[in-house]
Amino acid sequence: MVDVILGLQWGDEGKGKIVDYFAKNYDVVARFQGGPNAGHTLYVDGKKIVLHQIPSGIFHEEKTNLIGNGVVLDAVTLKRECENVAAFGVDYKKNMYISERAHLILPTHRAIDKASELSKGNEKIGSTLKGIGPAYMDKTGRNGLRVGNLLDKSFTTEYIKLRLKHQKILESFNFQEDISAWEEEFFEAIEFLKEFKIVNGEYFINDKIQKGQRVLAEGAQGSMLDVDFGTFPFVTSSSTISAGVCTGLGVAPQKIKEVFGVSKAYCTRVGSGPFPTELNDETGELIRKTGSEFGATTGRPRRCGWIDLVALQFACMINGVTQIIMTKADILDNLDELKVCNSYLVNGEEKNYIPFQMNKVNIEPVYKSFEGWKTDITAMHDFSELPQQMKNYIDYLNTFLKVPVKYISNGPGKEQIIIA
Ligand code: GDP
Ligand code: IMO
Ligand code: MG
């Protein structure tokens, strides 16, 4: 049996904290897509740590962690991350497994990502520059190198062949940077990677499922960044939705049970692209400041705005969300008024669906206002303690989305979570 935790917005919904909270109920925690573009923040013994590629179950000593085939893996970042978790006393090699089918992010992928973004001028995606797009392009273009290839004698030869192809691409972008230092780091890091338990992830996980173990699939990014259903082209390059669990781990759809969708009580986006409910005013600034809305991977300020129920409803539909986890509710504690977007005025016409090219039409959000709760909720533990105004807000979401908000996160700490 597999349950999924994934983001319903444009990423950074608080998935890391939620996976860490739920991990105690599972035997295996598995990442199924994305790569070091992700930044999942956890608090361990009151200390902050950001995970990029290591599954967020790593701090639970007895749990198995798997990096699935759908992930694109950067050995250099992984090595650094392992050193960080080791500082917390974690024996990361003991319980972490890596699928042999996961594609490797090469130094030239990072260079191409950078060159491609530079070439886009005002049309930049706002990529994290971690090489994600180029690595997935080499996967679907049938060129890439996989973790399992590290064990081949021909690995270096294959690397050089691919590098030559990449060199041509970089020349076409007129990219001049010297990447030899990145390559040196890369070759050092792949030696480190070879020491891991490299497995056939699909047999590994299905064997566990057959034995009755419980698997938690951890999503990265968010549904509105999905390569098919997100705000294309301002998206990432993987399937961030529940369907990505099947292809990214090798599990059949019938094995998936609960789909926990994580959404902030408001909305953020980092990088470029449409964001209908964005607030370019002092309320947006206040949310950014109160919520410390700065990218966990790049440090960029996150764009902030009101919760968008048109987008959330869409995300619930494409993912088959069974329960919603609402995070960062405490960030709205001081607001007099809250707004939720119920529909869009698309070129002046009211619509309740996501337009084909969100960036090419004029979208004006239609809002419903709610009275703020003006109460500090961070120390509350029980639903009954929550202010009535907040319950009204949640009730409205439940009715609108027809998927229940089952958990409310009221602070960054692992135990700051309230069951509705
Ligand atoms: P992820 O990428 O979805 O894992 O989310 P990030 O870690 O990038 O961003 C979420 C940020 O919000 C992190 O700094 C978390 O520590 C923090 N966070 C998560 N849940 C809550 C919450 O309920 N309240 C507050 N105040 N912070 C939270
Ligand atoms: P987590 O897992 C928020 C965004 C980037 C950019 C776009 C494409 O922490 O929620 P990419 O590097 O994938 O080519 O960038 O996607 N992006 C994220 N935004 N959270 C993330 O991950 C993201 N990963 C990528 O900002 O707009
Ligand atoms: Mg993040």
The 10s digit of each residue's pLDDT in 245-259 is: 999 999 999 999 999
CA of 403 to the centre of ligand 1 (A): 22
Mutate to test the pocket of ligand 1, among 20, 41, 334 (most ligand atoms within 8 A of CB): 41
Mutate to test the pocket of ligand 2, among 127, 229, 240 (most ligand atoms within 8 A of CB): 127
Q: Contact at 8 Å (CB) between 197 and 100?
A: no
Instruction: Read off the pLDDT of residues 191-249 as tens digits, 9 standing for 90 and up.
Output: 999 999 999 999 999 999 999 999 999 999 999 999 999 999 999 999 999 999 999 99
Ligand 2 pocket, 33 CB below 6 A?
no
Nearest ligand, CA of residue 238?
Answer: 2
Q: Looking at the domain assignment, is residue 313 inside a domain?
A: yes
Ligand 2 pocket, 220 CB below 6 A?
yes
In the structure, ligand 3 is a single-atom ion and the residues with CB under 5 Å from it are 12, 39, 296
CATH number of the structural domain spanning residue 29 = 3.40.440.10
Domain end marker among 175, 193, 211:
193
CA of 11 to the centre of ligand 2 (A): 7
CA of 41 to the centre of ligand 3 (A): 7
pLDDT for 404 beyond 90: yes
Distance CA 164, CA 178 (A): 15
Q: Looking at the domain assignment, is residue 44 inside a domain?
A: yes
- What pLDDT is stored for residue 193 in this prediction? 97
Q: Contact at 8 Å (CB) between 408 and 402?
A: no
Q: Looking at the domain assignment, is residue 385 inside a domain?
A: yes
Domain end marker among 237, 259, 281:
259
Q: Looking at the domain assignment, is residue 81 inside a domain?
A: no
Name all residues whose Cβ lies below 6 A of ligand 1.
7, 11-17, 39-41, 296, 327-328, 330-331, 409-412
Q: Looking at the domain assignment, is residue 354 inside a domain?
A: yes
CATH number of the structural domain spanning residue 305 = 3.90.170.10
Q: What tokens appear for 338 in the block?
A: 């809250």
Distance CA 384, CA 417 (A): 13
- What pLDDT is stored for residue 291 in this prediction? 97
Residues 246 and 307 in one domain: no
Q: Looking at the domain assignment, is residue 370 inside a domain?
A: yes
Residues 172 and 311 in one domain: no
Residues 185 and 212 in one domain: no
Residues 171 and 214 in one domain: no
Residues 54 and 129 in one domain: no
Give the whole-number percent of the chain exceeding pLDDT 70: 100
- What pLDDT is stored for residue 155 in this prediction? 97
Q: Whose Cα sits closest to atom 2 in ligand 1?
A: 12
Q: Looking at the domain assignment, is residue 49 inside a domain?
A: yes
pLDDT for 299 beyond 90: no
Residues 300 and 357 in one domain: yes
The SS3 call for residue 267 is strand
Residues 231 and 281 in one domain: no
CATH number of the structural domain spanning residue 138 = 1.10.300.10
At 298, is the pLDDT very low, low, confident or very high (cuts 50, 70, 90)?
Answer: confident
Handedness of CA 220, 221, 223, 226 (dihedral sign): negative
Residues 110 and 173 in one domain: yes
Full domain range(s) for residue 133 = 103-193
Give the N- to C-terminal CA distance of the chain in Å, as an integer. Answer: 24
Domain end marker among 259, 288, 310:
259
Residues 32 and 178 in one domain: no
Q: Whose Cα sits closest to atom 3 in ligand 2?
A: 11
Residues 164 and 25 in one domain: no
Angstrom distances, CA of residue 196 to CA of 65, 93, 376? 12, 6, 45
How many domains, in total, are found in the chain?
3
pLDDT for 122 beyond 90: no
Instruction: Read off the pLDDT of residues 135-164 as tens digits, 9 standing for 90 and up.
Output: 999 999 999 999 999 999 999 999 999 999
Active site residues: 12, 40
Residues 316 and 406 in one domain: yes
At 297, is the pLDDT very low, low, confident or very high (cuts 50, 70, 90)?
Answer: confident
CA of 164 to the centre of ligand 1 (A): 41
Tell me the mean pLDDT in the region 285-308.
93
Q: Report the chain's mean pLDDT, rounded to a whole number.
A: 97
Tell me the mean pLDDT in the region 67-84.
97
Residues 127 and 44 in one domain: no
Q: Looking at the domain assignment, is residue 84 inside a domain?
A: no
